[in-house]
Structure 1
Amino acid sequence: MERAPQQTGRSTPGTPDAPGASASFVRFVIFGGGVGLASSAAVALLAAVLPFTLANALVTAVSTILATELHARFTFASASGPGPGSGPGPTGRGPLRCGLRHHLQSAATAAAAFAVTTLATLALHAFASAPGLAVEQTVYLSASALAGIGRFLALRLYVFATTRRQPAPVTLDLRAAPARRELLTTAS
């Protein structure tokens, strides 16, 4: 029995041409953290000329698009490089290389992470009327770390996973097997 090699032309996290989980996670932290730090500075600068809510909304939208592009190109990309049919499936059209599906799904994971940190902070304030800054930051950063891990897993296993692992089809190669009569004559 011989297994036929599985040829999909695309990579899946865990395949030889896709970065491993550790490498992807380090890249995720570097690119996501870098965009987060830049966003923090951008909100502060924009809030000087725009209402804070509007500045935050603009920076959040731009930073989510930027982070999604960086994750598609570098965090979850295959060694053969992003492009149609390789890596996470960027379209290669225009300045944005991810499709709308990738951006919407990534935005959903960012919204879920925002909800986790918001709920954690609200829960803290429900239990403690005036928590200190250190406690509040500890709760926020802990929730942010958990949400980040969840977001990494969702992006790696769902958003940027272009193929699902399926068992390779089993083929039976009868040419290589000796005829039954040959087996009987060699055994005697």
Structure 2
Amino acid sequence: MQAMQQQRQSAAPGALAAFARFVLCGGGVGVASSFAVAGLSSWMPWALANALITVVSTLLATELHARFTFGAGGRATWRQHGQSAGSAAAAYGVTCVAMFALQRFVEAPGAVVEQVVYLSASALAGVARFAVLRLVVFARNRSEGAATARPVCVPEGHVLTPAGAAGFCRAA
């Protein structure tokens, strides 16, 4: 019974549930990051503030995604942090290009316009990041769980049903 509960807890959520969790975790971190970048950019160049916040928010978001979004069942590994950092670097590039384009084409954008552009670029990059995290970074966890599952031997002539599975499972 306890093993069954642990298996349910560590099972990866479906794509829709994972995306909803991704939006909740990543979006929450992204909104907080946008305000942090705006605050820090009054003390240092915007690109540096964005880089600093991107590093911190990527570490935080990767941990949240490992524990909650993709059902990895624990803390993110160094490999996952590294792979996640690659997708975050691309997101950083997208937000920088968007903000530099805004500065180039709008003489004096207000804070609201800057936030809209930054959050829009972050959302676009976020959708791409979701795909990378789900299909690459945390995909191994799902296949590792499937690869370590033990086969169930069913006597000839019997049909295995979920209700009858316990009767056929024997310790090896």
Whether TM-score is above 0.5 comes out as: yes
1:71 is matched with 65
Question: 1 or 2, which has the higher helix percentage?
Answer: 2
Which residue in the other structure is 2:156 paired with? Answer: 176
2:136 is aligned with what amino acid?
Y
Corresponding residue of 2:77: 99
**Which structure has the bigger radius of gyration?**
1
Q: Secondary structure at the match of 2:43?
A: coil
Asked if the contact 1:10–1:163 (Cα under 8 Å) also holds between the matched residues in 2, the reply is no
Shift of 1:52: 3.2
User: Tell me, what secondary structure is at the counterpart of 2:87?
Assistant: helix
Q: Is the 8 A contact 2:19 2:130 kept in 1?
A: yes
* Match among 118, 123, 129 for residue 151 of structure 1: 129
Residue 39 (structure 1) shift: 0.9
Aligned pair in 2 of structure 1 residues 51, 158: CA closer, same or farther (>3 Å)?
same
In structure 2, the gaps of 5 or more residues are 1-5, 158-172
Opposite residue 45 of structure 1, the aligned amino acid is: G
**In structure 2, how many angstroms separate the alpha carbons of the residues matched to 1:29 and 1:74?**
12
Give the paired residue count. 142
Tell whether the 8 Å contact from 2:66 to 2:76 is kept in structure 1 after alignment: yes
Superposed displacement of residue 149, structure 1 = 2.0
Which AA in structure 2 matches 1:153? Answer: A
Specify which structure has the bigger relative contact order, considering alpha-carbon pairs within 8 angstroms and separated by 6 or more residues. Answer: 1
- What is the CA–CA distance in structure 2 between the aligned matches of 1:118 and 1:70, rounded to whole Å? 24
The percentage of counterpart residues that share the same residue type is 55
CA distance in structure 2 between the aligned counterparts of 1:112 and 1:57, rounded to whole angstroms: 12
Runs of 5+ consecutive residues of structure 1 not aligned to the other structure: 1-8, 84-96, 178-188
Question: SS state of the match for residue 50, structure 1?
Answer: coil
What is the rounded CA distance, in whole Å, between the counterparts of 1:141 and 1:56 in structure 2? 13
- Tell me, in whole angstroms, the C-alpha distance in 1 between the residues paired with 2:119 and 2:17: 23
> What is the TM-score normalised by the length of structure 1?
0.56
1:53 to 23, 36, 47: 47
Q: Give per-residue Cα distances to partners, 1:15-66, cap 9 Å, x unaligned.
A: x922111111011011111111111111222233334333222211101111
C-alpha change, 1:38 and 1:138, in structure 2 (3 Å) is closer
Q: Distance in 2 between matches of 1:105 and 1:63?
A: 15
